[in-house]
Structure 1
Amino acid sequence: MGFTININGTPRSVDVDGDTPLLWVLRDVLGMTGTKFACGQALCGACTVHLDGSAIRSCITAIDSIGDSKVTTIEAIGATSAGERIQKAWLDREVAQCGYCQSGQIMSATALLTDNPHPTDADIDDAMSGNICRCGTYVRIREAIKLAAQTRVKEG
């Protein structure tokens, strides 16, 4: 079947079965490998993308459920104000070690700051709880999110 989906502001046509997970459309059909596969059960967060601005797990999101929604991936997240601040804070706080989970972490953190520009530690923990980092950089992740939130306060 053919589907047209809006990815990073561009309509893309794909010929896949309707139950094909968005993750496989992104990675295998469109060659966008920034979104990672890990658990395949929406438990780790590595496959996180935005659907109309909300963080979702692309490994369990069937392509036929997307409709006219807008998909944003790690490849385009820096074009948003919150995404740009998160990426800079990630570098400033040297969050990444192995890096495998980082695209999902950044996508979840960006969705958090977009919805809540002044998150508390509890807000951060709640928003990031579905993202696993096998290197254990959780303290630096929280610091980076706080830095990105403070940067917004200074800007605005």
Structure 2
Amino acid sequence: MRAVLQRVSRASVTVEGVVTGQIGPGLLILVCAMQGDTVAEADRLAAKIVKLRIFKDEAGKMNRSVKDIGGAALVVSQFTLAADLRGNRPGFSTAAAPDEGKRLYEHFSARIAAEGVPVQNGIFGADMDVALSNDGPVTIWMDTATP
């Protein structure tokens, strides 16, 4: 699985004029299931993200996790993270099939919540308007295929 994390002071997702998820301080997580991904990858990625120390401590150092600060996660499916950019038009054939992608996306969101982090979501497969205030800015790319 691939994810892009953005440390945010606030973020929201709107579908057809309706806000489907919004958070205050925490993480906006754009996530994509790749072909061949399993529940084990989703679990590993969720556990890593929840423990990732990218929030400032009292000394201003990145030393606290989203859980440590009592933050939330806005999890948004984004198959375009699977983009193959060999040409001028990206291909997305390495993304998981929609049914499998949705299953892993939902499992990933549930694992984040099970770790004690409140979760809000976008709508899988929808055309979404994502708004955020990137705090830092801090943006991190993760891929379970890369140790």
Structure-2-length-normalised TM-score: 0.24
Q: Which has the higher helix share?
A: 1
Structure-1-length-normalised TM-score: 0.23
Q: Which has the higher strand share?
A: 2
If asked which structure has higher relative contact order (CA below 8 Å, sep 6+), I would say 2
